[in-house]
């Protein structure tokens, strides 16, 4: 699948319409982002059953704030509209592929059950 640029305008629809979305939060002035960009793009070209997207934190400050981005690059994986992974820093090819494979295998019923238990415990 082609690499997408996510904006406030297309974010909700993209997340709703795709089971798994892997997002690279980046900026043009960021040195590590320049190192990570080609890695992220190569994986996006080769893993066709996952949506890969980039969010420019300078242009999409609201989305960066929504995800509490403090350092870039940051990679976020969403499955069924739930954040299942978030990590700052450059992820190298093998690690990013591993994360993509684990996202595909992730049992979302178990994730939702865990979230429900955490929310119930927080209310006590």
Q: Which residue has the tokens 């704030």?
A: 65
Tell me the longest C-alpha to C-alpha distance in the chain.
46
Decide if 80 contacts 21 (C-beta within 8 A).
no
The verdict on whether 106 is a catalytic residue reads no
Q: Which residue has the tokens 């299942």?
A: 84
Indicate if the pLDDT at residue 2 is higher than 90. Answer: no
The verdict on whether 33 is a catalytic residue reads yes
> Which pLDDT tens digit goes with each residue over 54-88?
999 999 999 999 999 999 999 999 999 999 999 99
User: What count of other Cβ atoms lies within 10 Å of the Cβ of residue 13?
Assistant: 9
Question: What does the pLDDT average to over 13-20?
Answer: 96
> Which pLDDT tens digit goes with each residue over 35-62?
999 999 999 999 989 999 999 999 999 9
Cα distances from 84 to residues 30, 63, 87, in angstroms, run 25, 17, 10
> Which structural domains are found in the chain, ordered by start?
4-123 (3.40.30.10)
Q: Which of 33, 44, 69, 91 is catalytic?
A: 33
Q: Which of 3, 4, 27, 30 is catalytic?
A: 30
C-alpha to C-alpha distance for 93 and 18, rounded to whole angstroms:
23
């Amino acid at each position: 699948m082609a690499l997408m640029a996510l904006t406030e305008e297309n974010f909700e629809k993209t997340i709703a319409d795709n089971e798994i979305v892997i997002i690279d939060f980046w900026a043009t002035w960021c040195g590590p982002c320049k190192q990570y960009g080609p890695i992220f793009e190569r994986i996006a070209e080769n893993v066709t059953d996952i949506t890969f997207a980039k969010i420019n934190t300078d242009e999409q400050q609201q989305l960066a704030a929504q995800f509490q981005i403090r350092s870039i690059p940051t990679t976020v994986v969403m499955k069924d509209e739930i954040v299942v992974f978030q990590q700052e820093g450059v992820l190298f090819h093998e690690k990013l592929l591993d994360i993509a494979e684990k996202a595909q295998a992730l049992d979302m019923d178990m994730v939702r059950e865990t979230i429900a238990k955490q929310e119930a415990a927080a209310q006590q």
